[in-house]
Amino acid sequence: MDFKELVKFFEEMGEKKFRATQVYAWMMHGAQSFDRMTDLPAGLRARLEEMQDAGLISLNLAMISNVQISKSDGTRKYLLMLNDGNFVECVFMKYKYGNSVCISSQVGCRMGCAFCASTIGGKLRNLSAGEMLEEVLVIARDTGEPVSHIVVMGTGEPFDNYENLARFLRTVHDEKGLNIGMRNITVSTCGVVPGIEAFTVDFPSAGLAVSLHAPSNEIRDRLLPINKRYPLEVLLPACRTYTEHTGRRITFEYALIDGVNDSFSHAKALARLLHSHVGKLCHVNLIPLNKVSESAFSGSGRRHATAFCEILEKHGIPATVRRELGADIDAACGQLRMKTMEQKK
């Protein structure tokens, strides 16, 4: 529930409005039981516990099934089990600017990107706004550290679940919620153009990342089936509209795949493409592809990625090679969940 809905909930119970303020604060601090809400009357806590036991309300939407901790940098990858028995992944990462959490937006994914573990098995269902919030709260509770940045870049296509995504973003941004600034939130899409257009209007202060991965429709059709519906000549103008409307730089994710999209001629073609269709307010995030055993693709080496990056920068396109956090754990989105599902078969 958002705060307004919680107010209505307590009013219908015959309680005062300020009870919603108290409970909402406890919820946003990750309280797992109403008994812990010590500023509530014992009678009210008992009523809420009874409602939870009856399945009418719930404070707990997920529990930790597994966590992998990188010995090299402290990155934590979580496998959470939802109340219906499904699993999702989320990641805790430490940076100089603060702690970042990468969350999933769906159980599985139907986008079918050729190199991605998340899409194997397809999409099972959307996550609710509450389940997305729970990913953040579980991590904050487990680590005991504050979360200052959120990226919606895990399993699933966020714009294929836009209504719940928008509800989640408004909740974490709300000063009564987690009070995280929109500029500290980034949403990644594989190129769902209607979602980009809606996001541009609804969340102009939030960051947008687009999984590009190719400098041409021919290559992108092979890697990302969504490109057949929204090819580059449709996608890139929507990206330019985002930069013009928001004044914010857009990030293009580009996974370097050996022999597919990683030649130096591809780098030059990518630079020309972005110059002509997007302009200067962009940044390319080059990703050394994590190996997925079910995929025939292999990633380019980091040295090659650095050379690719230098070509882009030489041609006026800002670019970086993504820092490899959690390299010693199941780094690719979907890998930990997929292993668990295989073990259960």
241-264 residue pLDDT tens: 999 999 999 999 999 999 999 999
Backbone angles phi, psi at 172, to 5 degrees: -70, -25
Q: Which domains does the chain have, with CATH numbers?
A: 3-53 (1.10.150.530), 62-344 (3.20.20.70)
Angle at CA of residue 327, ends 314 and 165, nearest 5°: 80
275-302 residue pLDDT tens: 999 998 999 999 987 655 555 777 788 8
State the catalytic residues.
Answer: 89, 333
- Name the band, by pLDDT with cuts 50, 70 and 90, for residue 115: confident
Q: Which of 36, 11, 12, 9 is nearest to 25 (CA)?
A: 36
Q: State the average pLDDT over residues 327-342.
A: 57
Q: Which pLDDT belongs to residue 13?
A: 95
Token duo for residue 106 = 């769906």
Q: State the average pLDDT over residues 198-205.
A: 98
pTM of the complete model: 0.91
Helix (H, G, I), strand (E, B) or coil at 335: helix
Token duo for residue 282 = 């962009």
Q: CA-CA distance, 114 to 250, in Å (whole number)?
A: 23
Q: State the average pLDDT over residues 15-31.
A: 94
Burial class for 251, CB neighbours closer than 10 Å (0-12, 13-18, 19+): buried
Residues 6+ apart with CB under 8 A from 12: none
